[in-house]
Structure 1
Amino acid sequence: MSVASNESKAPEKNSNQAHAIPFAEALAIWWRIGLLSFGGPAGQIALMHRMIVEEKKWLDESRFLHALNYCMLLPGPEAQQLATYVGWLLHGVKGGLVAGILFILPGAAMILALSWAYVLLGDVSLVAGLLFGLKAAVLAIVFQAMIKLSQRALKTPIAGVLAVAGFLALFVFDVAFPFVVLGAALVGWLFASKINAQTAAPNDVLSTDIRPGTKRAAFICAGLWLLSVVALIALFGDSSVWAQIALFFSKLAVVTFGGAYAVLAYVAQQAVELYGWLQPGEMLDGLGLAETTPGPLILVTQFVGFLAGFREATGMHPLLGGTLAALLTTWVTFLPCFVWIFAGAPYVEKLRGMPRLSAALSAVTAAVVGVIANLALWFALNYLFATTFTWETAGISILLPEVSSWVAGAWALTAFAFLCMFAFKLGLFSLLGLLCASGILLQWLI
């Protein structure tokens, strides 16, 4: 049953509709999403779309895309914020908190465990091998999501143009992500009559009155974030590793538009050259760990924070220092995400009844198809080929594979994954389980 159904006929039933989905059932779904959110934002958004919209039918397509549009405009990990937004839509503040936290928790726990293994053993290559098959499954999931999203979002010529333009701007011309999104929104605003906004009438959305405490939750999250930073500076001084971590990653949380890859070079430069927390090659090791675990790729910052605490914290065991620093990094990186959602979501919901603003967000949806295509292609190139390079000339910057470096195992697993999904119509969990087992078998044979 769609949570938005029949509302225009019976607005007095808003509260009952909001609670029609058992919280325990939603809790189980958010656990599953958190555990299976591999493949970066493209794979994570595809996974949520499949579970929330297609399988459970808790949201309709337009409501899901409306939430995604807003999250794409925010700094920070868009997939985690989308989970928070959807959780808030379904069960208010507690739903948003649970969805957002469970999206992070499995990956954060795995990154912490792998960070321990990294400093104690110095080699975690086996983990990457065990999860190798999952990436092939993610490629198939993303491709299927791209097809379905395109069919639903690109119903007008101008929407198709925006999708292609968004892809070319990112993949070919290396335009900054915020400019792509803002440009699409401007086109939507100016050409509202030509864009199929697919926006429901105002009474066709869930009333925000059924989600009490949202504004209070935003203030509490913002207060906890700012007070924790101030307290660390007051207790340990601004030159301590605790204050440096709190300030650096708080600043990062505010400016990380365009996803993790947009800021990884900056993180690496600052962590290595300015603070001396890592050696040059260790950032790549951390990125490899983050890519083989569920959750947002920006969790690589937790690995950076762990090494900072492991090496710089004084007066305690290095592993304790690393663990506390990792937790602090995750705290100041993701707490702002809850602020953006709880502060803005109620107002964004009201935009669904405003034609020009809805058209602007629908134009962003079209551009997002191109954005996801860019992310998916980046993921595919880096999975299917061992070596890539950037070809640059006259303002053009294109990521290309070194053809001779193609990875036979990755191609074989990807072909198998596509066959299972599109020919045999395998379910999501069966697909992931089968490809995981295939990846382990391939690793053993090689």
Structure 2
Amino acid sequence: MVKDVTDNDETKRNATPSDEGNLASLATAGLKIGVLSFGGPAVQIALMHDEFVTRRKWLSADRFQHALSFCMLLPGPEAQQLATYCGWLMAGVRGGLITGLLFILPGALIMAALSTIYVLYGAVPLVEAIFYGLKGGVLAIVLQALWRITQKALAGAFLKALCLAAFIALFAFNLPFPLVVLAAGLLGFLFAPNPTGVPEAPATPERLPVSKQVSLSPLLLKGLVLWAAPAALAALLIAPDHVLVRLSGFFSTLAVVSFGGAYALLSYMAQVVVDTLGWLSPEEMLDGLALAETTPGPLILVTQFVGFLAGWRFADPFAPLTGALLAAAVTTWVTFAPSFLFVLIGAPFMERLRGIPALRRALAGISAAVAGTILNLSVWFALNTLFAQTRQIQHGPLDITWPTLTTLDPVLAGITLLALGLTLGARLSIFPLLGICCAAGLLARYAL
């Protein structure tokens, strides 16, 4: 395992005694994060920080932030890429695959189960009631996560101002996410204070034990072959124009151009799959988004719901449910496979560049923009959780999402305040917090 140290090299980090122990501990941590990763990237990143940096002390805050900054530059779901990067730092390619897959798997299984219930029985009131209360707990966790992340990423007035500027650019002017991040990196390179302290030694594959070293060229080739395998098999064994082939092509393309995360891509994806391809209706698209918002894992798992319904409707030669599950699996595979490749191929090069002061300044600027992005996502989540309606206020370059105040859900707001008190005041851990919120949701729907 790669041992890590704090930024000032004073506190030694813990190490597990064997490769098997490392991988088992890493799997435990990865599964915990995967199961608890409700609430979108803000809370997911905070969960990983708490697990890898604060509780287990496997990584320093500086190395974690470096990994996060790199992942925010990549297309695809940044939280899943960060989980993969952290696993790679700990145990090479095997570690990256373990943490990346376990981050996705719980949400994917739950989404498959809920999609099956959805097409067979429609909306289930009991599940809706549980998710209703869960939203309040998730929102509280998001707000707590925002506080933790900003405390770690923003050292000094310049980076705080850059964070605020990134938030305003995204929230008030709706500027493209890649443009904001690149501008922050340039400003950091030009104006951020020089980093203090001695940077940690890079965790390149050459420093990993021999059992964990992997040649990057064969890894890239194997990854590309595995990524393309579902579409190739479907075209060969069924038909070149089968829905599995079309799903593979569409979501593979989205996976490599989805800069800015799922939020930046949803409107385009929804328009294509509803209006152009006719795989599902607008109402079903909204239902899928609601399921993705209230299940663990990245929001981009909404693509799995889209694939499920497309496979259900165009199942031939399979039974509808078989076709739906196959389509969901293929969609999830082609959506996430590129993210593994981006990280496992790119991380070694990023680690080699860690000691360059100019790059560290640029990444500090990017980290500040990342914090502003998380603030923007937190506000977006709060507006869409607590208010039934929002409207766009547009004036010149301004483009602000604003809630209709009369549509505030007072019960859900109360559950959120209760959750905030429990997590910030009583410091209640996530499992009992979410349990209390689920019980509150049931009580609100059935007893009040």
TM-score (norm 2): 0.92
1:434 aligned to which of 408, 433, 436: 436
Distance (whole Å) between structure 1 residues aligned to residue 117 and residue 153 of structure 2: 44
Kindly report which structure 2 residues correspond to 1:139-178, keeping only aligned pairs within 5 A, or say none: 139-178=139-178
Structure 1 pair 138/261, CA: closer, same or farther in 2 (3 Å)?
same
1:260 to 2:257 alignment: no
Output the amino acid matched with 2:100. Answer: G
Q: Kindly state the Cα deviation for residue 315 of structure 1 after the two structures are TM-superposed.
A: 1.7
Partner of 1:128: 128
Output the amino acid matched with 1:345. Answer: A
Structure 1 pair 251/362, CA: closer, same or farther in 2 (3 Å)?
same
Distance (whole Å) between structure 1 residues aligned to residue 5 and residue 17 of structure 2: 9
Output the amino acid matched with 1:380. Answer: A
Structure 1 pair 282/201, CA: closer, same or farther in 2 (3 Å)?
same
Partner of 2:415: 413
Distance (whole Å) between structure 2 residues aligned to residue 31 and residue 16 of structure 1: 18
Paired residue secondary structure (1:362)? helix
Partner of 1:298: 300
Partner of 2:372: 370
Paired residue secondary structure (1:398)? strand
Structure 1 pair 7/362, CA: closer, same or farther in 2 (3 Å)?
closer
Distance (whole Å) between structure 2 residues aligned to residue 19 and residue 321 of structure 1: 40
1:201 to 2:202 alignment: no
Count of aligned pairs: 441
Contact 1:214 1:342 survives alignment (8 Å)? no
Paired residue secondary structure (2:393)? strand
Q: Kindly state the Cα deviation for residue 151 of structure 1 after the two structures are TM-superposed.
A: 2.5
Q: Kindly state the Cα deviation for residue 125 of structure 1 after the two structures are TM-superposed.
A: 4.4
1:72 to 2:72 alignment: yes
Contact 1:76 1:253 survives alignment (8 Å)? yes
Q: Kindly state the Cα deviation for residue 196 of structure 1 after the two structures are TM-superposed.
A: 5.0
Output the amino acid matched with 1:366. Answer: A
Structure 1 pair 292/7, CA: closer, same or farther in 2 (3 Å)?
closer
Contact 1:387 1:405 survives alignment (8 Å)? yes
Partner of 2:328: 326
Contact 2:46 2:148 survives alignment (8 Å)? no
Q: Kindly state the Cα deviation for residue 237 of structure 1 after the two structures are TM-superposed.
A: 4.3
Deviates more, 1:237-246 or 1:27-36: 237-246
Contact 2:163 2:372 survives alignment (8 Å)? yes
Q: Kindly state the Cα deviation for residue 425 of structure 1 after the two structures are TM-superposed.
A: 2.1
Distance (whole Å) between structure 1 residues aligned to residue 18 and residue 193 of structure 2: 30
Contact 2:231 2:248 survives alignment (8 Å)? yes
Q: Kindly state the Cα deviation for residue 286 of structure 1 after the two structures are TM-superposed.
A: 0.7
Write the deviation string for residues 259-302 of structure 1: whole angstroms up to 9, x where unpaired: 11211111111112221111221100111111111001111111
Structure 1 pair 416/14, CA: closer, same or farther in 2 (3 Å)?
closer
Give the alignment's Cα RMSD to 1 decimal.
Answer: 2.5
Q: Kindly state the Cα deviation for residue 36 of structure 1 after the two structures are TM-superposed.
A: 0.8
Distance (whole Å) between structure 2 residues aligned to residue 8 and residue 373 of structure 1: 29
Kindly report which structure 2 residues correspond to 1:27-38, keeping only aligned pairs within 5 A, or say none: 27-38=27-38
Distance (whole Å) between structure 1 residues aligned to residue 403 and residue 21 of structure 2: 46
Output the amino acid matched with 2:322. Answer: L
Kindly report which structure 2 residues correspond to 1:11-30, keeping only aligned pairs within 5 A, or say none: 22-30=22-30
Paired residue secondary structure (1:4)? coil
Paired residue secondary structure (2:288)? helix
Write the deviation string for residues 43-78 of structure 1: whole angstroms up to 9, x where unpaired: 111111122211211111101111100110111111
Distance (whole Å) between structure 2 residues aligned to residue 152 and residue 14 of structure 1: 21
1:280 aligned to which of 266, 279, 282: 282
Distance (whole Å) between structure 1 residues aligned to residue 27 and residue 75 of structure 2: 26
Contact 1:87 1:97 survives alignment (8 Å)? yes
Write the deviation string for residues 182-218 of structure 1: whole angstroms up to 9, x where unpaired: 1111112223xx3354674253x43432041162434
Kindly report which structure 2 residues correspond to 1:79-118, keeping only aligned pairs within 5 A, or say none: 79-118=79-118
Paired residue secondary structure (2:354)? helix
Write the deviation string for residues 9-31 of structure 1: whole angstroms up to 9, x where unpaired: 9xxx9998995973222211211
Structure 1 pair 335/141, CA: closer, same or farther in 2 (3 Å)?
same
Partner of 1:212: 213
Distance (whole Å) between structure 2 residues aligned to residue 53 and residue 386 of structure 1: 37
1:271 to 2:273 alignment: yes
Q: Kindly state the Cα deviation for residue 307 of structure 1 after the two structures are TM-superposed.
A: 0.9
Structure 1 pair 58/21, CA: closer, same or farther in 2 (3 Å)?
farther
Distance (whole Å) between structure 2 residues aligned to residue 276 and residue 344 of structure 1: 37
Partner of 1:337: 339
Distance (whole Å) between structure 2 residues aligned to residue 424 and residue 2 of structure 1: 35
Output the amino acid matched with 1:311. Answer: R
Output the amino acid matched with 1:212. Answer: Q
Distance (whole Å) between structure 2 residues aligned to residue 121 and residue 49 of structure 1: 39
Contact 1:310 1:319 survives alignment (8 Å)? yes
Distance (whole Å) between structure 2 residues aligned to residue 364 and residue 28 of structure 1: 30
Distance (whole Å) between structure 2 residues aligned to residue 217 and residue 28 of structure 1: 25
Partner of 2:57: 57
Q: Kindly state the Cα deviation for residue 430 of structure 1 after the two structures are TM-superposed.
A: 2.9
Output the amino acid matched with 2:199. Answer: A
Structure 1 pair 23/400, CA: closer, same or farther in 2 (3 Å)?
same
Contact 1:309 1:322 survives alignment (8 Å)? yes
Q: Kindly state the Cα deviation for residue 116 of structure 1 after the two structures are TM-superposed.
A: 1.0
Distance (whole Å) between structure 2 residues aligned to residue 20 and residue 65 of structure 1: 27
Deviates more, 1:327-336 or 1:223-232: 223-232
Q: Kindly state the Cα deviation for residue 313 of structure 1 after the two structures are TM-superposed.
A: 2.2
Distance (whole Å) between structure 1 residues aligned to residue 6 and residue 368 of structure 2: 27
Distance (whole Å) between structure 1 residues aligned to residue 389 and residue 21 of structure 2: 46
Structure 1 pair 435/176, CA: closer, same or farther in 2 (3 Å)?
same
